[in-house]
A = this chain, B = another copy of it.
Amino acid sequence: MSKKFFLQEKDIPTAWYNIIPSMPTKPRPLLNPATKKPLSAEDLYPLFSEEASRQEMNVTDSWIEIPEAVRDIYKIWRPTPLVRASGLEKALGTNCHIYFKNESVSPVGSHKLNSAIPQAYYCKQQGVTNITTETGAGQWGAALSLASRMFGIELAVYMVKVSYHQKPYRRSIMQTYGAEVVASPSMSTKAGRRIITEHPNHQGSLGTAISEAVELAMSTPNCKYALGSVLNHVALHQTVIGLEAEKQMEMAGEYPDVVIGCFGGGSNFSGIAFPFMRHNLAGDKNTLFIAAEPSSCPKLTRGVMQYDFGDEAGYTPLIPMLTLGHNFAPANIHAGGLRYHGAGSVVSQLKCDGLMDAVDIPQLESFEAATIFAKSEGIIPAPESAHAIAAAIRQARQADEEGRSKVILFNLSGHGLIDMTAYDRYFAGDLANYEVSDSEVAANTAGLEKLI
């Protein structure tokens, strides 16, 4: 049966790993959209906590200390187990060794809490009383709701309207932790009112929800905004995943040939990948890194590298990203957390430099993989995480065909116990694959100048 590798509390990392100092090409800076001038950490202070802003701009320190108060809360569920997926291996009949890092054991069921805790902590430290954020499927919103509660901060979450109605359980979870949850687009912001007025039946998008959350934060005293993916400081916080996994792979006596994470904006992929990637960058290892994105939102495999906004209304700084365009409307797949138009600047640069790879997974393949995994490992994966499982299965099958045995590590970013409607629809044959046409990508990315 599947063997677990446990760490002790003392093994929770004491510092996050910042990959930027080791990158051969540094990511281009964030730009002020009006002046097109590079932004400084100070320029971000109105939006984010000061420490998060400084971390966002930190290109010199490879290790950034994790505050003791944050490590203390990490202890609620960390260190998370690393599991040798013997059940999955047997189900596939593969000669590969497959491991997964189980981030689904957090109280909110996903890795998102790794960044929610420090973001809330840094806000608390500087006396912030209110935070705003957005959420798609609700994983990030649930995590920040809990984190805000733990530091006694009020939170308002703009939840994409279609998810607000389709995923009532995640909404309830946020409310149980005491957060205010608003269906987006809403009448509470200019950005929301404009969209509702133009499209009365608009079902919302992550880009719009971000616009609303940013607008509310900017217009509310003592209020900051927090984002659950895309940005450098979020990826930084998530590196606890890979740092723990590194020690656990040592316990297992192996080193991964392939490291895989599903990909929305980059937070869980970066978290599992960057600590291992530092050995590639140092020339000591030659691991393959694969980001698994949905075919319906293929920013890494088919997007263009350009400066783009992080939100729909254009409130955010310009970010250098592999993007499908900030007005790209992804199909309504059940992996709501992967429905985002762009990749963070670090991952985008690494991808352009050939230091990592990406694959796109059709929705039906992701659920097929999820079902194999559930039956063989016992854990029902989140639809997002199912993309990583599908990519791992592809890798194992390819290695078997080539007569090789690989060590494959993927991140199980969350469980799917609150996504059972999606499974129901899959079993009923109601789910489809969605293709994105070249002309759709071209139309949405025509606005800004390509960077490469």
Contacts and interface: CB of A to CB of B under 8 A. Distances in A.
A38 interface: no
Interface string A79-103: 0000100010000000000000000
B172 A423 contact: yes
A176 interface: yes
Contacts of A168: 420-421, 424
A6 B9 contact: yes
Contacts of A75: 1-4
Contacts of A170: 420
B378 A107 contact: yes
Given A75-B3, A417-B109, A176 B378 contact: no
Contacts of A173: 380, 417, 420
B4 A76 contact: yes
Main secondary structure of the interface of A (DSSP, over half): helix
A105 B417 CA distance: 12
Contact of A1 (B76, B146, B371): B76
B2 A76 contact: yes
Interface in A115-154: 146, 149-150
B177 A374 contact: yes
11 contacts: A1-B72, A2-B75, A76-B378, A107-B377, A150-B378, A168-B424, A170-B420, A175-B423, A176-B375, A177-B374, A417-B418
Given A6-B9, A76-B378, 18 more contacts: A1-B69, A3-B9, A3-B75, A4-B76, A6-B8, A107-B415, A149-B375, A150-B378, A168-B421, A172-B420, A172-B424, A175-B423, A176-B371, A176-B427, A177-B374, A417-B418, A418-B418, A418-B420
